[in-house]
Chains A and B, each alone.
Chain A
Amino acid sequence: TQLLEQSPQFLSIQEGENLTVYCNSSSVFSSLQWYRQEPGEGPVLLVTVVTGGEVKKLKRLTFQFGDARKDSSLHITAAQPGDTGLYLCAGGSGTYKYIFGTGTRLKVLA
């Protein structure tokens, strides 16, 4: 069974701090996505990474896909209250379904 474990589960930080969220699995994925979800809304796609070792930057967010395509990280620089939300990673494979991670709930305090 493929599982994606995210850490930390909860994170509360002050505005301006940096943070990193991790997504780990023992399985290999052909692609990995990161989503942010706000209360009562659907997850919104942030980025897709497909190549082992790939790094993508989206403004203050930096995403990395592990060399072996089993893990990923999301780093946020100078966090802002608008970054608050539930961050989900999801792995795609050849089994026609995505596996979602356990989620990291981030709260950025002003």
Chain B
Amino acid sequence: DSGVTQTPKHLITATGQRVTLRCSPRSGDLSVYWYQQSLDQGLQFLIQYYNGEERAKGNILERFSAQQFPDLHSELNLSSLELGDSALYFCASSQGLAGPGWAQYFGPGTRLLVL
């Protein structure tokens, strides 16, 4: 158990819909990262928050947004869903920024299926 929790574990929805994925980082971790993993594209970095502020953006679509709340939990919002958005979405946390020795700890993921 990494200490990172994600809900829900599974999500099935239809095209055009909007969903919210939730993540609680490990106790004491200030950074939260979101990743998308699909079979053909590996682990793709989406976005990072540090202590409530956005710090880095990766390959995140405009239809997707995220935020980190004062209690440090984070939510990833996916809207106007398309079939291609079906994937595993992982949240990870770390103590600080991507500095020496500060590795990430991953949650169990949310499996999203868009029909």
Contacts and interface: CB of A to CB of B under 8 A. Distances in A.
How large, as a class, is the contact surface on chain A? Answer: 20 to 34
A42 B98 contact: no
Interface in A84-108: 88, 90, 92-100, 102-103
Interface in B34-49: 35, 42-43, 45, 48
Contacts of A44: 2, 106
B102 A31 contact: yes
B111 A40 contact: yes
Contacts of B83: none
A97 B33 contact: yes
Interface residues of B, number: 29
A100 B100 contact: no
Contacts of B97: 94, 96
Contacts of B43: 43, 88, 100, 103
B102 A100 contact: no
B109 A41 contact: yes
10 contacts: A41-B108, A42-B109, A92-B98, A92-B102, A95-B56, A97-B45, A97-B56, A97-B58, A100-B45, A103-B42
